[in-house]
Structure 1
């Protein structure tokens, strides 16, 4: 099992007070030192609305770029970047450059976006989001995997757009997050890995979506074993108190509570997907439970807060399909 940490870019720790980058960097390096496999950012331009600008999160790509220099081992991922926020061919160039800077540690998580107020505030089209996403995904993955792309779509275009060609270039793994049929189909066609979030103990919702993704792979002739599966897990800080004791933070299917040892020993509920506990491609890799202390004076993991971890379970290279070209030397997309 491989375990990563979602970094708090917004006001998760204290209402109206986003963490400073110095504290975010400290949390990322502590995660690396503690033995976690990856650190992740999320991509939003607003909180609830434009009126809440003081609490809006830091811009995701800038933070990812800074963390590539601040860390040396952990994978650096996005869960997920909204393809509507950046021109797709330009984003492919950005990802290729960050892959070089990080030494091949990027997981390029992509999604269509959902929070309409930020689309409105920044003048971005909110219609036909999945169609726009499909065209963007084709451009991005074609550039990263073949070196250049020519795509003429209804919403996005690329005319022989290249990344920087070099002998030792390996593209980043591409992760797609989605659950509806069209998004699962696109995941099966283009992605190296898939994510569904957020859970406590994954149960029926994950199992059903996972089965639908397997079916989508089979429909296009892709071996489902070539697509890594990941889950976003919410973990409450030890001794934490929730702001709403009667809310879903008390539901174990929404939040896992306990210290590192207790969480590591938490049994899966009946019917939960084995992919959340052991690899579908081979035996899981044993790993010592780890915990991360918060930076000095930082409320990032203070009592009452909830930490988000993204968990993947692939432990050996998958068999490649024609839909994801072999890129020997690339590490697996995993949390």
Structure 2
């Protein structure tokens, strides 16, 4: 599994302050993980009260950009419905500069209607067409040579004579596209993505979706191997059965379900399952960490799982 990288993925809408996220991000860096990612949501899901309340993804990452020095920083996924593409391109480029060029940009269509209702955000019926235009605009603004302007006349968004500033610190901010859609999602990845992510899916569904994306890339005139392929999976690792059960209970999940649908069990079990995703083509795994107070969990994964992957 040489080349497999583990990234830490958090869901702050379930309840986390900026200080909590900072603590986890610093542990992520200190323990040798590859990146710290967060979701982009404004409302808790399920039984969580979400206290102390939501934090904004890009404001969080801006703060972490100044508090960390090595890890990549990104979103799975920025909600396209939350922001206009022009201001979003400015914000992400600024965070990239603040981090010294360590930002990855995951963009999705947005889907959770209740959070839009709760915070007065329009929830359009046609989200996928908007996502396609947003990706074209954001990447177009970043790639426009300095001193030239960018214009775009789309169905949903129009820009005229934009100076296309500021520029990111990186020559190209890596763009992530993800999902399980059979046709439009692979085509979108083929056009815009540096990385394709399969969220919370089985090994069989992962293999199917990776194959679709690889085929779409080739049809678009790209080598399928130009893209990085990755998975997001919930993590629940313990040194023994009792510890696994305790960590599962802490996040309101059943051990057997987690073993079926996530990365759960002993370190050896989890290393074995990661190996199967690696065989399917994944080279990055985003570990969804749902109990952000359990830093011992991160240490165990770093010591007993990550160390076995190189």
TM-score (norm 1): 0.73
Cα separation, 1, equivalents of 2:177 and 2:141: 17
Whether the 8 Å CA contact 1:207–1:273 is kept in 2: the answer is no
Change (3 A) 1:162 1:300: farther
CA-based RMSD: 3.2
Match of 2:235 in 1: 235
After superposition, what is the alpha-carbon deviation per residue over 1:27-78, rounded to whole angstroms, capped at 9, x for unaligned? 11111111111100110111249x9564653211111111101100000011
Equivalent residue of 1:154, what SS?
Answer: coil
Cα separation, 2, equivalents of 1:24 and 1:86: 22
Equivalent residue of 1:184, what SS?
Answer: helix
Cα separation, 2, equivalents of 1:92 and 1:167: 9
Cα separation, 2, equivalents of 1:104 and 1:245: 37
After superposition, what is the alpha-carbon deviation per residue over 1:234-258, rounded to whole angstroms, capped at 9, x for unaligned? 2104213234999585353312223
Equivalent residue of 2:16, what SS?
Answer: coil
| Residue of 10, 24, 33 corresponding to 1:36 | 33
Change (3 A) 1:221 1:277: closer
Match of 2:115 in 1: 118
Unaligned runs of 5+ in 1: 12-17, 279-291, 316-335
After superposition, what is the alpha-carbon deviation per residue over 1:186-219, rounded to whole angstroms, capped at 9, x for unaligned? 11101111111125xx511100010111111122
Change (3 A) 1:246 1:179: closer
As a proportion of its length, which structure holds more helix? 2
Match of 1:173 in 2: 174
Q: 1:115 offset after TM fit, Å?
A: 0.8
Q: 1:9 offset after TM fit, Å?
A: 1.2
Match of 1:99 in 2: 96
Whether the 8 Å CA contact 2:113–2:123 is kept in 1: the answer is no
Equivalent residue of 2:206, what SS?
Answer: helix
Whether the 8 Å CA contact 2:89–2:142 is kept in 1: the answer is yes
Change (3 A) 1:30 1:182: same
Match of 1:254 in 2: 261
Whether the 8 Å CA contact 2:96–2:169 is kept in 1: the answer is no
Match of 1:2 in 2: 5
Match of 2:188 in 1: 186
Change (3 A) 1:117 1:246: closer
Is 1:215 aligned with 2:215?
Answer: yes
Cα separation, 1, equivalents of 2:261 and 2:168: 46
Is 1:69 aligned with 2:76?
Answer: no
After superposition, what is the alpha-carbon deviation per residue over 1:263-289, rounded to whole angstroms, capped at 9, x for unaligned? 3344745x98431369xxxxxxxxxxx
Cα separation, 2, equivalents of 1:183 and 1:236: 29
Corresponding pairs, count: 279
